[in-house]
Chain A
Amino acid sequence: MDAGAATQPLPVTDFSRAHAFASGELVREAGGGDLDAFEELVRRLQRRVYGFAFQHLRDPHEAQDLTQEIFVKLFRNLGRYDSERPFEPWFWKLATNATINYRRKRVPLPSEPGEEAADPGATPQAHDPALIEALAQLDPSYRVPVLLHYYADLSLEQVAAALSLSVPAVKSRLHRARGVLRNSLADAEELGQP
């Protein structure tokens, strides 16, 4: 499998421009069965969704798989989207569902940093390997809200809608997750890892 265009990491700040992406018209057309509109929607969403999937799974092939699954699920459920409500929270709720239910196709790669460096074309140099490592150790039910809020830039209300939790519950989960991450990072520092 080729590494494709996987050399230039995309900083999250680029996503703020993408906030205007999913116009209601496009979503309505895609939901009506217009395949070209759906393709355009996929094109606009793919970076963000793939980024989220990649941070969650840390494997480019699995992330591609999960991204594809999310988009197929989007296609199947677009007919049920109520255009009165905002698209983003509904979409991320769907994506979160698919992520939580995702079953890995391959045996998960061992999460030692040495193994990742063995395949230089596939994963870029991580700017923050300690945080990546700590995230990988985090329980998925904590990792997903962290990624939704800090990486995909969803508001607390949107995260709460995506996870079917109350806002205080999301806050407490985020606090706890950050505490765990902080402890992992502190332990890693003590052991002298970069």
Chain B
Amino acid sequence: MISCPRVRVLLEAYADGDLAADDAARVRAHLSTCADCRRQHDQAVSLPFRLRALSSPAPRASLVGDVMRAVGAERAGYRRSWTLLVPEAVLAAFILWYLSGFDGLSSIASGVFGDLLSLGSGSLPHLPPVDVVLLVALIALVVVAAFHLSILVRLAAPRPAHE
């Protein structure tokens, strides 16, 4: 004889007609005797219909407009993000030229590499000569690049840019 807990587990499969013939026969036999399980079986059968009958409100009328706005903002943002490369390239070229060829660059590069190697050794890295113009150019480049990066991050974000 099949027990009530076992039948309860099989009720959904039985309601869908997915059980093997002998299991289904056993469940059917049990249901003819057990009122509690019969009640559960009625619930199991009615559940799909109740689920299909669920109703939802209509979306706000502005939904389509909001979506198109977000999509449009994304396209505009994408185009804008490429134009930002121009001032960045200009600044970078200027800095490179200002550092007069590879001398300044190589000293910076070797200093950076030294930073990597001497993690925590604490020795002061070698500095190329400081210059106000260079400082301003570097700060400008950092600002533009950070702003550009924030635009790109927003473009790639799962949420639409326009809230």
Contacts and interface: CB of A to CB of B under 8 A. Distances in A.
- Do A and B interact directly, with beta carbons closer than 8 Å? yes
Interface of A: 2, 4-12, 35, 38-39, 42-43, 46-47, 50-52, 54-55, 60, 63-65, 67-69, 71-73, 75-76, 98, 101, 123-124, 127-128, 131-132, 146, 150-151, 153, 171, 174-176, 178-179, 181-182, 185-186
Q: How many residues of B sit at the interface, in one of the four size bands?
A: 35 or more
B58 A10 contact: yes
Contacts of B74: 72, 75-76
Interface string B52-96: 111111111111101110111010000000000000000000000
Contacts of B64: 39, 42-43, 46
Given A64-B59, A178-B47, A12 B54 contact: yes
Contact of B57 (A123, A150, A176): A123
B158 interface: yes
B101 interface: no
Contacts, number: 139
Nearest to A127: B55
Interface in B31-63: 40, 43-44, 47-48, 50-63
Interface of B: 8-9, 11-13, 16, 18, 40, 43-44, 47-48, 50-64, 66-68, 70-72, 74, 158-160
Contacts of B11: 179, 182
Nearest to B39: A186
A76 B9 CA distance: 43
B57 A9 contact: yes
Contacts of A178: 12, 44, 47-48
Contact of B53 (A11, A68, A71): A11
B68 A182 contact: no
A175 B53 contact: no
A68 B54 contact: no
Nearest to A122: B57
A38 to B, nearest CB: 7
